[in-house]
Amino acid sequence: MARTAAPGARERILAAVSPLFYAEGIRAVGMARVVAAAGCGKNLVYSHFPAKSELVAAYLTAVRSRRERSAERAVAAAGEPAAGLVALVAEVADRVREPGFRGCALRNYLTECPAEDDTAGRIARDYLDRSRATVDGLVRSLGGEPALADRVWLVVEGLYAVAGRPDAARQADAAVELVRELVSRPAARRSAGRRR
């Protein structure tokens, strides 16, 4: 009779490997380390993830899901587009202030494996596209110009770029304040007023 995997084993494997992938990078963590970190047999790991690429894709899918839920909650709590843009940037800024934060795992994957056109790469690129679409949608709802979306997106990207630096908290504060100023400028509000 064939053995079945213990319930929750897949999640335990992902939970064990996620900090390794985040701290050390995808390529630096081999399957032997995955097996050791998971504290289970190699066969169990491979029964859930027959290839490392499948494990990486599952890791990035979980990261994407957490990041999207967090951003959605921040925007929903803000209530209106201008506040939503500020909340979105503040949510990223809060992450940048966290001790040990090394940037966005999805962006890190694309930096580490830029030429990869695999499932993991598609997951990471899809996340970035959807995140940018959220910014674009909030700016459109505000009645702002595409240039405002470009500026807000550059602030978000800049936040991830300062992750881990000694002045990251100060930069995070500055980023939130900059977006607050951008969305409160009369030009942004004037456009919104014309659409009503």
Confidence band (pLDDT; 50, 70, 90) for 196? Answer: very low
Q: Check residue 186 and give its pLDDT.
A: 65
19 in Cβ contact with 34 (< 8 Å) = no
Q: pLDDT tens digit string along 58-115?
A: 999 999 999 999 999 999 999 999 999 999 999 999 999 999 999 999 999 999 998 7
Q: Check residue 6 and give its pLDDT.
A: 58
Rounded alpha-carbon distances, angstroms, from residue 129 to 67, 89, 115, 134, 144: 13, 16, 17, 9, 19
Q: Which residue has the higher pLDDT, 2 or 61?
A: 61
Taking residues 108-136, report their average pLDDT.
94
Taking residues 155-176, report their average pLDDT.
96
Is the pLDDT reported for residue 191 higher than 90?
Answer: no
Q: Check residue 117 and give its pLDDT.
A: 80
Confidence band (pLDDT; 50, 70, 90) for 195? Answer: very low
Q: Check residue 193 and give its pLDDT.
A: 46
Q: Check residue 84 and give its pLDDT.
A: 97
Query: Tokens in use for 132?
Result: 């940018």
Q: Check residue 21 and give its pLDDT.
A: 97
Q: What is the DSSP string of the chain?
A: ----PPTTHHHHHHHHHHHHHHHH-TTT--HHHHHHHHTS-HHHHHHH-SSHHHHHHHHHHHHHHHHHHHHHHHHHHH-SHHHHHHHHHHHHHHHHHSTT--S-HHHHHHHHSTT--SHHHHHHHHHHHHHHHHHHHHHHHHT--HHHHHHHHHHHHHHHHTTTSTTHHHHHHHHHHHHHHHHHSHHHHHHHHHH-
Is the pLDDT reported for residue 189 higher than 60?
Answer: no
Q: Check residue 115 and give its pLDDT.
A: 77
Average confidence score pLDDT of the chain: 91
Is the pLDDT reported for residue 11 higher than 80?
Answer: yes
Neighbouring C-beta atoms of residue 32, cutoff 10 Å: 10
Is the pLDDT reported for residue 190 higher than 50?
Answer: no
Q: Check residue 187 and give its pLDDT.
A: 59
Is the pLDDT reported for residue 3 higher than 60?
Answer: no
